[in-house]
Amino acid sequence: MSSKEYLHIVTQDHIPVQKMRFGRVLIWGSAGIFFCLVFLQLLQQNGVADFKFSNWRPTLYAYGFWAICLCAAQVLMYGERGKRTLFVLPAVLFVISMVVFPLIFALGIAFSSWNLSSPDGRQFNGLDNVWEMWADPFYWNALKNMVWYILAIIPEYAIAFGLAILLNAQIRARKFFRVAFLMPLMLSPVAVSWMIGKSMLEIRFGPISRLARTLGWDNPSFFGSGEIARGMIMMMDAWTFIPFMMIMILAGLQAIPKELHEAAEVDGAPPWKRFWEITFPLMLPVSITAILIRIIFKLKLADIIINVTSGGPGGATDSVTSFIYREYRDRSNVGYGTFLAIVYLVIIVIFMTVLMKLADRWMKPRY
Amino acid sequence: MSKQIFFDSASDQAFKPKRFFGRFAIYLILLFWAFICLFPIYWTITTTFKAAPDVMKGNLIPWWDYQPKWLGLKSLGLSPNTIFVESTVREEFLKRFWNSAIASVGASTIAVLLGSCAAYGLSRFQYRFGFMRNSDISFFFLSQLILPPVVLALPFLVLYKELALLDTRVGLIALYTLTVLPIVIWIMRDQFSSIPTELEEAALVDGLSIWGAFLTIILPIALPGMVASFIISLVLTWNEYFFAALLTSSHAKTLPVMVASQTGSQGISWWSMAALSLAAILPLIVIAIILERYIIKGMAAGAVK
């Protein structure tokens, strides 16, 4: 979107000095209130004085007040330009306060041992968490599993592409098929893990086990061995997310001009060649976008694992998220869990940056 | 291609088995996949009305190989003979359902409001916040999508504890808004960039303020995009489990957490689990059937430039 058209507005603003000053007072005044409250509450927390605060809510309210004042002051101080800022400012403030502050806070927790259920509270323990992570085979195992889970996107993509091509063909009842294919995406992963993982894959009388037995697998066990269990998790996850890629690819397919295919057909290209020489290259940008988004969602995979196998057997199905979740549930160690999460975040950011750079290069058409 | 008018050779009028079988195969594959997509839902619906022996025998078709019973709905206090009777299970279930509804609708609404404004601003004006320009701000918003929930979960657990927001709907709504905001901005940016700027120019010349033009002229045009992003946010937040499992316990517990907690504790009481799962998925199934084109519009945003 490089050749984007912006709205060109010329406004004449005469901001009176008083208004300007009032705006500044509003911002700094409310910030002052906020900092005062933070100071008072810190005093109370360290036991210097008691102001009868039962929690940190007052600080939160002061922060909210400051945010509102900041927005209002934009209009007071900058007139029309301020009104334009007002479009983006609330969202920016919201995201910063919900992401940046907690992340900084998380960095603080990450280098400490903090068991929420123990009375000792938070204890700074330097690099202990690093050594613990280094020696934690289950964390590395979870990271290795994530690689498998991400590789599973390739067959998912192939299936989604195939279905999209079929849906793009001249067929009847297209709307029915589209709705039916979309359905798995609507379902809650928790419900899916019960519906499929716990009931349809039930060993004695789940319909899939029955089918497996008629097909000649005498004692079907879907979560007994590590590889099969991982495969099952992959399949369930694929089941819910194939529609997503399918819809994106279908949208891309329908944007390809028909003339290209007709021209190729007139030239006598066989269907297989038409696909590889026309459809696939033209779909490359859409495919890469779809795969990138799918990878982002895959990196968050946890719900199904937590509910179906809770990481078992022997950590074979653990994703990083489900591992940290159990780490917290079993040992309620916030410090170590946060450290693992931060390491995961760093890995993801590096991985995604490299991937996006590569994707950028691939998406450029080669002549 | 247009219809063939001239039939020059015999091959033109000959029966084309290849083409016929091709179509047959296409329908076969499509039906097969539709079966894969729909069977688990069918299984859940029928299991809701099965008694234990029916489950064990693997009966599949109601009225043909088993007689439907009200067991599943009865366990939630929703069957015909229990619906007017006082029932604690129903109270509990309705509370969870209501929590889920409030959290998802609230978060989606806030996300769509904040996100549409931000996306509009980013698609129309040039900003400079310090070193951040438009593309940087856009990237800042979209990069939140990469952030895995697990990074935020534990800090939020501690923060919410201090702020007395643990186990409240407000806390949940705030977090859910954060998780869907990038998606809303993604969809809405696409929507707004498809609306020509001449519209606002005309409105501004006619004397509307920029917010007036946005609210009265642009928003109504962008309504399909807003509906699309609202529904996609609704789907994501209604199904959200991870944050809800960590941050809620008794008061603000949502439906997915309730479903998940039942699987462990109750052993296998199939009909009641099926009924619960059904309740968790049914609202979205209805939405998917009615508003399918909006969902597709939302997901296709950004796919086609």
ipTM: 0.88
Query: Quick one: pLDDT at residue B3?
Result: 57
pLDDT (tens digit, 9 = 90+) per residue, A49-96? 777 777 888 888 999 999 999 999 988 888 888 888 889 999 999 999
Mean local confidence (pLDDT), B197-223: 89
Q: Which residues, other chains included, contact A6 with Cβ-Cβ below 8 Å and sequence gap of 6+?
A: B124, B125, B126, B197
Strands (DSSP E) found in chain B: none
A356 reaches B (C-beta below 8 A)? no
pLDDT of residue B130: 76
What are the residues whose beta carbons fall under 8 Å from the beta carbon of B195, sequence distance 6 or more?
A: B218, B221, B222
A196 touches chain B (CB under 8 A): yes
Spans of all domains in chain B: 88-300
CA dihedral for A167, A169, A171, A175, sign (positive or negative): positive
Question: Do B174 and B102 touch, CB atoms closer than 8 A?
Answer: no
* Bigger pLDDT: A47 vs B27: B27
pLDDT at position B32, please? 93
A chain contacts of residue B277, beta-carbon cutoff 8 Å: 191, 194-195
The confidence score (pLDDT) of residue A1 equals 41
* A 23-62: CB under 8 A from B: 54-57, 60
Q: Testing the interface with A: which of B154, B247, B281 to mutate, by most A Cβ within 10 A?
A: B154
Q: Which two tokens stand for residue A92?
A: 């920016």
Q: Is B273 left (phi over 0), alpha (psi -120 to 50) or beta?
A: alpha
Residue A303, Cβ density class (10 Å: 0-12 exposed, 13-18 middle, ≥19 buried): buried
Q: From the CB of residue B236, how many other CB atoms can be counted at a distance below 10 Å? A: 18
Does A271 lie at the interface with B, CB-CB under 8 angstroms? no
State the pLDDT at residue B172: 92
The shortest CB-CB distance from B304 to any of A166, A251, A328 is to A251
Within 8 A by CB and 6+ apart from A248, the residues are: A286, A289, A290, A293, B299, B300, B303
A344 touches chain B (CB under 8 A): yes
Which residues does B104 contact at the CB level (< 8 Å), separation at least 6?
B176, B233, B234, B237, B238, B240
CB contacts of B284 in chain A (<8 Å) are 186-188
Question: A130 touching B, CB under 8 A?
Answer: no
**Interhelix angle A80-95/A57-78, nearest 10 degrees:** 160
Of B154, B263, B304, the CB nearest to A194: B263
DSSP state of B279: H
B221 close to B99: Cβ distance less than 8 angstroms = no
- With CB atoms and an 8 Å threshold, state whether A303 touches B149: no
Contact A248 B299 (CB under 8 A): yes
Neighbouring C-alpha atoms within 13 Å toward the C-beta of B242 = 27
CA distance A182 to A159: 14
**pLDDT at res. B299:** 83
Residue A310: predicted pLDDT: 82
Instruction: Give me the CATH topology for the region B88-300.
Output: MetI-like fold (1.10.3720)
Residue B151 has pLDDT above 50, yes or no: yes
Give the pLDDT confidence of B239-279 residue by residue, as tens digits. Answer: 999 999 888 888 888 888 888 887 655 556 778 888 888 88
Q: pLDDT at position B1, please?
A: 44
What is the pLDDT at residue B185? 92
Q: Answer yes or no: is pLDDT of B191 > 50.
A: yes
Q: Which of A89, A94, A143, A188 to mutate to test the interface with B (most CBs of B within 10 A)?
A: A188
Q: Which of the pair, B110 or B297, is modelled with greater confidence?
A: B110
B274 contacts on A by Cβ (under 8 Å):
195, 199
Per-residue pLDDT of chain A (367 residues; tens, 9 = 90+): 434 578 777 777 778 888 888 888 989 999 999 999 888 888 888 777 777 777 888 888 999 999 999 999 988 888 888 888 889 999 999 999 988 888 888 888 888 887 777 767 777 777 778 888 888 888 899 999 999 999 999 999 999 999 998 888 888 888 899 899 999 998 888 888 888 888 888 777 788 888 888 888 877 788 888 888 999 999 999 999 999 999 889 888 888 888 888 888 888 888 888 888 888 888 888 888 889 989 999 999 888 998 888 877 888 888 899 998 888 888 777 888 888 999 999 999 999 999 988 888 877 655 4
What whole-number distance in Å separates Cα of residue B243 and Cα of residue B166? 11
Mean per-residue pLDDT of chain B:
84
What does the pLDDT read at residue B302?
A: 64
Find the CB nearest A177 among B30, B154, B185.
B30
Q: Using a cut of 0.90, tell me whether the model's pTM lies above it.
A: no
**What is the sign, positive or negative, of the torsion defined by CA atoms of B261, B263, B265, B269?**
positive
Write out the H or E segment, with its range, that includes residue A122.
strand A122-124
Whether A327 contacts A150, CB under 8 Å: no
